[in-house]
């Protein structure tokens, strides 16, 4: 026997089993060698693999395992000790590496597992995001649809267009088969089919509003799926073949203006709704999606708003049209009124002229008639005629004035005048009547009353005359006092004190009488037109009743106030009025003697005059008169003295011819002889006590230039002098 270092296998060389083992080992080795190759290949391919060195470790382990199995192949037959050594080395290495790998894997496998879970998680997330993306996209699309719809709806303010557009756009967007709108009727008890999409001429179709399905839809703001067989959805004749598509209904609130409060938003507690019904196409298996329902709801809201806008606009357009109509009507009315007023004024003016002309004739001729020889009855008749015609003339004037005053077409004629003189003139005018009735009138002018004022003299005189005249008219006895003063307060605003400025002041005139008096209750009526307060018994005083009304209007024009106070019937009354007057600059000249302040007769200043009178007293009075007028007066008491003193400087000679006889007239002749040239000769005026024709004739025959009746009043003398100097002759001053 050979001694070899071979190692005997343990098992007998059973050929079949060994063969299988041999093949298996071979394949295992191949597999073990190819695994790392695969690993390397695929790892190289992948971008990232964090556990590279684990791979190495694993590769080593596998390779060694493969090597082990490969070497195992040689151990099936007798093999040398080297092979056994290599085998053992390989096995030991493999054991080491595999243990190391096993230990390593304990760390690594959890990691790998968690990677897997993360991957799963991310995949889930991705799916979720996808879903959400899908949702957002649909929402965005819905929004786009709504915007477009809204744009379409709101681009018009016409109600019908709005509704039609809504239906059309909804139909298009949602691909509906039919879309309909039911509006509540006026009574609110029924819904009427107002608009449909496909049918051009909707039948006048109504359903009662109290149907359960309708209540259901109205009860919520959401779109509600309803049965296609409900009355609101049965819009077309149903042909049995079709399977009706799903139907959805939504309420459309009809908002009223009053819903929009400033502070709170419109509550959806409005009672009125319209119903919008949408039908999907039949035969399609389409269903209502949530986003479509949302779209419908949003559209319904928008439609509500658009409708209210349209309603508001309609309303305002209607109001505007109404206003324009009214405007036109008012304009027409105004023009007609103006025409009427103009016509009336023209009429009044013409009638006034036409009426005054005959009036003048009547008055003038009656006056002339009065001057002639009349029997007492005739005189009475003429006087009555004259009185009546004067009354009528006054009435006409009053009416014309009043109508012009009421129009506001009367304007004050402002001018400068002497206030003191005005009052005296008025008194002079009233004197005759007062004398007849034995009513003394006193005038009291306040010391600070300006003399020269700016105002409407004629109208002021009219007012004062009216009031004083009333006082005289309605007083049977007693005295009348007229007081004029400057008032410090504006009676219209008693708290407001008017400081008389440099340019204006308020004149107050009080006329107090002790006559019939007025019942305090009647006082407000006094200033109304045509009203008179006295009973029929005292009606004899006449008058039209317009006087006070006109006075009041004039006073108002002068920015003043007029009122009457009375303690009662029989206790007299006081009429008071305030008017605003301007102060004239002429009053600022102080210290000018009165005689020269009268601008009309400035030519008297220094006029040299000779007065001849035997009677000392009357001589003095005449001299005083002329001095007052500013003349330079020389007095003589006899004709001789007169001739002696007289010179060509004397412009006027007043000679008293009261003495009987003709001696005084001789002086006139002597003067004529002395002054042959006419322009040098002074004017000769006779002062005499009687004015009959014989005296006048005598004066004229003796060459006198004028005759004056003694006693001469101041005004008379003034007028006479100015006339004399103007005309160089005077025979009217009687």
Partner 1 sequence: MDALVAQLQMQFRDYTISLYQQGFLDDQFTELKKLQDDASPDFVAEVLSLFFEDCVKLIGNMARALDQKGTVDFNQVGASVHQLKGSSSSVGAKRVKGLCVSFKEFCEAKNYEGCVRCLQQVDIEYKTLQTKLQDMFNLEKQIIEAGGRVPQVDIN
State the minimum distance, in angstroms, from the CB of residue 494 to partner 1.
23
Asked whether residue 47 is marked as a ligand-binding residue, the answer is: no
Calpha distance 633→65 (Å, rounded): 175
Size of the site for partner 1 (CB under 8 A): 38
Q: Are 459 and 424 in contact (CB under 8 A)?
A: no
The DSSP call for residue 491 is T
Choosing from 396, 569, 658, 700, the residue that interacts with partner 1 (CB under 8 A) is: 658
Q: Nearest-CA neighbor of 546 among 562, 533, 529?
A: 529
Indicate whether 689 belongs to the interface with partner 1 (CB under 8 A).
Answer: yes
Q: Are 630 and 605 in contact (CB under 8 A)?
A: yes
The DSSP call for residue 418 is E
Indicate whether 710 belongs to the interface with partner 1 (CB under 8 A).
Answer: yes
Asked whether residue 289 is marked as a ligand-binding residue, the answer is: no
- Map tokens 């129009």 to a residue: 407
Calpha distance 377→385 (Å, rounded): 12
In the stretch 457-486, what mask flags binding to partner 1 with x, by CB under 8 A?
----------------------x-------
Q: Which is nearer to partner 1, 366 or 688 (CB)?
A: 688
Calpha distance 318→314 (Å, rounded): 6
State the minimum distance, in angstroms, from the CB of residue 690 to partner 1.
12
The DSSP call for residue 685 is E
Choosing from 659, 662, 729, 734, the residue that interacts with partner 1 (CB under 8 A) is: 659
Residues 6+ apart with CB under 8 A from 471: 480, 511, 512, 513, 515, 575
Indicate whether 638 belongs to the interface with partner 1 (CB under 8 A).
Answer: no
Strand partners, 708: 687
Asked whether residue 471 is marked as a ligand-binding residue, the answer is: yes
Angstrom distances, CA of residue 319 to CA of 161, 325, 637 = 22, 10, 98
Indicate whether 443 belongs to the interface with partner 1 (CB under 8 A).
Answer: yes
Asked whether residue 44 is marked as a ligand-binding residue, the answer is: no
Indicate whether 369 belongs to the interface with partner 1 (CB under 8 A).
Answer: no
Calpha distance 386→371 (Å, rounded): 12
Asked whether residue 45 is marked as a ligand-binding residue, the answer is: no
Calpha distance 505→492 (Å, rounded): 15
Cis previous bond, 711, omega within 30: yes
Indicate whether 440 belongs to the interface with partner 1 (CB under 8 A).
Answer: yes
N residues, the chain: 734
State the minimum distance, in angstroms, from the CB of residue 624 to partner 1.
4
Q: Which is nearer to partner 1, 264 or 448 (CB)?
A: 448
Choosing from 711, 727, 728, 734, the residue that interacts with partner 1 (CB under 8 A) is: 711
Asked whether residue 617 is marked as a ligand-binding residue, the answer is: no
Starting from the edge strand earliest in sequence, which strands make up the sheet with 247-253, in order? Answer: 206-208, 190-196, 178-184, 273-279, 247-253, 224-226
Q: Which is nearer to partner 1, 309 or 424 (CB)?
A: 424
Q: Are 74 and 86 in contact (CB under 8 A)?
A: no
Asked whether residue 69 is marked as a ligand-binding residue, the answer is: yes
Indicate whether 615 belongs to the interface with partner 1 (CB under 8 A).
Answer: yes
Choosing from 86, 445, 465, 485, the residue that interacts with partner 1 (CB under 8 A) is: 445
Q: What angle do CA 640, 642, 645 make, to 5 degrees?
A: 110
Q: Are 611 and 619 in contact (CB under 8 A)?
A: yes
Classify strands 441-445 and 480-487 as parallel, antiparallel or unpaired.
parallel
Q: Nearest-CA neighbor of 483 among 344, 378, 576?
A: 576
Going 21 to 26 to 27 to 31, the CA torsion angle's sign is positive
Choosing from 149, 434, 611, 721, the residue that interacts with partner 1 (CB under 8 A) is: 434
Choosing from 616, 647, 666, 680, the residue that interacts with partner 1 (CB under 8 A) is: 616
Asked whether residue 603 is marked as a ligand-binding residue, the answer is: no
The three-class DSSP label of residue 667 is helix
Choosing from 1, 16, 536, 617, the residue that interacts with partner 1 (CB under 8 A) is: 617
Indicate whether 539 belongs to the interface with partner 1 (CB under 8 A).
Answer: no
Please identify, among the stretches 18-26, 430-438, 604-612, 697-705, the one whose residues bind partner 1 according to the rule CB under 8 A: 430-438
Choosing from 238, 714, 729, 734, the residue that interacts with partner 1 (CB under 8 A) is: 714
Q: Which is nearer to partner 1, 480 or 548 (CB)?
A: 480
Q: Establish how many alpha carbons lie within 13 A of residue 214's alpha carbon, considering only the half-sphere containing its beta carbon.
A: 23
Angstrom distances, CA of residue 474 to CA of 426, 479, 724 = 18, 12, 42
Indicate whether 713 belongs to the interface with partner 1 (CB under 8 A).
Answer: yes
Choosing from 224, 348, 531, 621, the residue that interacts with partner 1 (CB under 8 A) is: 621
Distance of CA 73 to the CA centre of its chain: 120
Asked whether residue 513 is marked as a ligand-binding residue, the answer is: yes
Q: What angle do CA 346, 350, 356 make, to 5 degrees?
A: 145
State the minimum distance, in angstroms, from the CB of residue 479 to partner 1.
7
State the minimum distance, in angstroms, from the CB of residue 617 to partner 1.
4
Joined tokens for residue 337:
């009124």
Please identify, among the stretches 88-96, 148-156, 615-623, 644-652, the one whose residues bind partner 1 according to the rule CB under 8 A: 615-623
Asked whether residue 6 is marked as a ligand-binding residue, the answer is: no
In the stretch 580-609, what mask flags binding to partner 1 with x, by CB under 8 A?
-------------xxx--------------
Indicate whether 488 belongs to the interface with partner 1 (CB under 8 A).
Answer: no
Indicate whether 620 belongs to the interface with partner 1 (CB under 8 A).
Answer: yes
Residues 6+ apart with CB under 8 A from 194: 163, 181, 182, 183, 202, 274
Choosing from 236, 356, 628, 672, the residue that interacts with partner 1 (CB under 8 A) is: 628
Please identify, among the stretches 164-172, 185-193, 423-431, 639-647, the one whose residues bind partner 1 according to the rule CB under 8 A: 423-431
Query: Under the rule (CB under 8 A), what is the footprint of partner 1?
Result: 424, 427, 431, 434-435, 440-445, 447, 479, 593-595, 614-618, 620-622, 624-625, 627-628, 656, 658-660, 689, 710-714
Write out the binding residues. Answer: 65, 69, 470-473, 513, 529, 544, 548
Write out the binding residues for ADP. Answer: 470-473, 513, 529, 544, 548
Write out the binding residues for Cu cation. Answer: 65, 69
């Amino acid at each position: 026997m050979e001694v070899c270092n071979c190692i005997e296998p343990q098992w007998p060389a059973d050929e079949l089993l060994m063969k299988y083992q041999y093949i298996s080992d071979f394949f295992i080795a191949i597999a073990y060698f190819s695994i790392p190759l695969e690993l390397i290949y695929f790892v190289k391919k992948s971008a990232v693999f964090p556990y590279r060195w684990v791979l190495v470790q694993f590769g080593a382990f596998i390779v060694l395992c493969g090597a082990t199995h490969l070497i195992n192949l040689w151990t099936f037959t007798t093999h040398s000790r080297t092979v056994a050594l290599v085998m053992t080395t390989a096995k030991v290495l493999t054991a080491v590496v595999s243990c190391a790998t096993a230990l390593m894997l304990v760390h690594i496998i959890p990691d790998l597992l968690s990677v897997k879970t993360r991957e799963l998680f991310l995949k889930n997330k991705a799916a979720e995001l996808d879903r959400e993306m899908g949702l957002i996209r649909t929402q965005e699309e819905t929004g786009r649809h709504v915007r477009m719809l809204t744009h379409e709806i709101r681009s018009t303010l016409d109600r019908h267009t709005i509704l039609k557009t809504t239906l059309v756009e909804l139909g298009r967007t949602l691909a509906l088969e039919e879309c309909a709108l039911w509006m509540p009727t006026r009574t609110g008890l029924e819904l009427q089919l107002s608009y449909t999409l496909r049918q051009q001429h909707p039948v006048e179709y109504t359903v009662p509003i109290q149907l359960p399905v309708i209540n259901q839809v109205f009860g919520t703001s959401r779109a509600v799926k309803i049965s296609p067989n409900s009355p609101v959805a049965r819009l077309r004749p149903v042909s049995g073949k079709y399977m009706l598509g799903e139907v959805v209904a939504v309420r459309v609130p009809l908002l009223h203006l009053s819903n929009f409060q400033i502070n709170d938003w419109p509550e959806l507690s409005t009672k009125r709704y319209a119903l919008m019904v949408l039908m999907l196409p039949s035969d399609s298996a389409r269903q209502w999606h949530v986003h479509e329902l949302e779209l419908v709801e949003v559209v319904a809201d928008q439609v509500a708003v658009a409708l209210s806008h349209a309603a508001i606009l309609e309303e305002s357009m209607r109001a505007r049209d109404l206003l324009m109509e009214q405007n036109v009507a008012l304009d027409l009315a105004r023009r007609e009124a103006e025409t009427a007023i103009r016509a009336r004024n023209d009429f009044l003016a013409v009638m006034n002229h036409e009426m005054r002309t005959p009036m003048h004739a009547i008055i003038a001729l009656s006056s002339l008639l009065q001057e002639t020889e009349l029997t007492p009855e005739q005189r009475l008749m003429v006087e009555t005629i004259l009185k009546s015609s004067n009354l009528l003339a006054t009435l006409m004037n009053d009416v014309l004035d009043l109508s012009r005053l009421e129009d506001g077409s009367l304007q004050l004629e402002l001018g400068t005048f002497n206030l003191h003189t005005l009052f005296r003139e008025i008194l002079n005018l009233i004197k005759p009547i007062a004398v007849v009735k034995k009513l003394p009138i006193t005038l009291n002018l306040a010391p600070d009353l300006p003399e020269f004022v700016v105002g409407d003299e004629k109208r002021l005189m009219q007012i004062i005359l009216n009031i004083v005249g009333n006082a005289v008219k309605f007083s049977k006895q007693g005295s009348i006092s007229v007081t004029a003063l400057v008032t410090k307060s504006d009676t219209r605003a008693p708290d407001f004190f008017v400081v008389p400025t440099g340019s204006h002041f308020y004149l107050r005139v009080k006329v107090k009488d002790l006559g019939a008096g007025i019942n305090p209750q009647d006082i407000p009526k006094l200033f109304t037109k045509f009203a008179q307060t006295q009973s029929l018994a005292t009606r004899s005083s006449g008058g039209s009743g317009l006087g006070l009304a006109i006075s009041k209007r004039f006073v108002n024009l002068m920015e003043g106030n007029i009122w009457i106070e009375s303690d009662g019937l029989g206790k007299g009354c006081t009429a008071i009025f305030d008017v605003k007057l301007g102060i004239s600059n002429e009053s600022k000249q102080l210290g000018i003697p009165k005689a020269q302040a009268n601008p009309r007769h400035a030519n008297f200043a220094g006029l040299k005059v000779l007065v001849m009178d035997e009677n000392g007293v009357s001589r003095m009075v005449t001299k005083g008169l002329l001095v007052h007028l500013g003349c330079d007066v020389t007095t003589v008491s006899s004709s001789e003295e007169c001739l002696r003193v007289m010179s060509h400087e004397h412009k006027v000679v007043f000679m008293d011819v009261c003495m009987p006889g003709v001696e005084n007239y001789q002086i006139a002749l002597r003067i004529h002889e002395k002054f042959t040239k006419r322009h040098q000769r002074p004017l000769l005026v006779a002062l005499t006590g009687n004015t009959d024709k014989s005296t006048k004739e005598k004066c004229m025959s003796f060459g006198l230039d004028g005759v004056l009746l003694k006693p001469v009043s101041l005004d008379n003398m003034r007028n006479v002098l100015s006339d004399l100097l103007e005309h160089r002759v005077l025979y009217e001053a009687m």
